[in-house]
Amino acid sequence: MRPLTARRVVWTCIGLGVLLLAAVLLALKLGAVPVSVSDLVLDLGRIVIGQADALPTDFRLIVVDLRLPRIVLGILVGAALSVAGASFQAMLRNPLADPYVLGISNGAAVGSILTLIVAPRFALVTPLGAFVGAGATILAVYFLGQREGQLDTATLLLAGIVSMSFFSGVIMFLMTTMTGRDLRGMAFWLMGDLSTPVSAAMQWIFIVGLLVGVGAIYSTSADLNLMLTGEREAIHLGVDVTRVKLVVYVSASLLTALAVSVSGAIGYVGLLVPHIVRLIFGSDYRLLIPASALCGAIAIVLADTLARTIVPPTELPVGAMTAMAGAPVFIFLLRRGLR
């Protein structure tokens, strides 16, 4: 493996950015109402040069008002989940760790269901309830994961598994109290869905949170590389392991909470994307983190496009697409590793 340079990181990110742009254009074109390539390029050019008022009404409604916000949300969710998954795998030193391994998604689901029961007419409050539930779970698991005044990864993992099991029981209990439209909507949310509208304020909060979380994790990338050899060895090399684990735990949990609050639990992205990125680009976290963010965004955009177009005009949950595509890929990677 050739040594990592800043030039290689930049060019890799540029290449993945071009692939993400291609995925976005494909997602804008495809759907229940297809848009021709010429019209898409022409009308997007009008937006770029500031002539958005000249757009046809149908194009504005379908592409600008419906598809583009959903694509932007998918990019944010995919980047957050992939970076969180890569971070948890490093911190817990467990290749099967994903953003939901510590029960954060289940805590968010409980918060969302409780909000839906208490205030059923305020649909936009549901993401807030999910974020509050995820935040409460983050704090609870953090305090349960303490051992002798320090964050212990084994204890943290056990605390997360217990919390996930407990919240699963609470979710099943609360779901039995729901009927009709609320039950169907919550079932879609639990499977992962990008169709729920998100306010502009929430999107900006997500963007700021994503930048802060990814930036904080990236600042520990050199230390994470050393921690791959073991915590004792990292300590001998001068790494403040306690600080690194705290930064990674808080940042990755924040990214997961933001993603789950707006899209529900979209599985396999945070688990598989970091593994695929390692297979292609190596395990250096200085490249793994930005590459995982871009690849996760590409994966969600393509999965959501497939969910919108595979059975038109019905829309499937994007989590169902990632699960059906992710399971065979995971089996392939598992068998390849065994060989």
CB 246 within 8 A of CB 292: no
More confident residue, 218 or 160: 218
Strands 150-151 and 146-147: antiparallel
Peptide bond into 313 cis (omega under 30): yes
- For the segment 226-263, what is each residue's pLDDT rounded down to a tens digit? 888 777 888 888 888 889 988 999 999 889 988 888 88
Other Cβ atoms less than 10 A from the Cβ of 56: the count is 12
Domains in the chain, ordered, with CATH?
67-338 (1.10.3470.10)
With CA atoms as reference, report the closest residue to 83 among 261, 285, 326.
285
In angstroms, the CA 323 to CA 35 distance is 28
Q: Which two tokens stand for residue 212?
A: 């802060």
> Residue 124's pLDDT is what?
64
Where are any strands of DSSP class E within 83-232? Answer: 146-147, 150-151
pLDDT, one tens digit per residue, over 172-200 is: 888 887 776 777 777 777 788 887 777 77
pLDDT tens column, 118-131: 776 665 677 788 88
CA distance 219 to 87: 12
pLDDT in tens, 34-65: 777 777 777 777 776 766 666 676 677 777 77
Output the average pLDDT for the chain.
83
Tens digit of each residue's pLDDT (9 = 90 or more) over 269-307: 988 899 899 989 988 999 999 999 999 999 999 999 988
Structure token pair of residue 333:
């990677």
Contact between 108 and 186 (Cβ < 8 Å): no
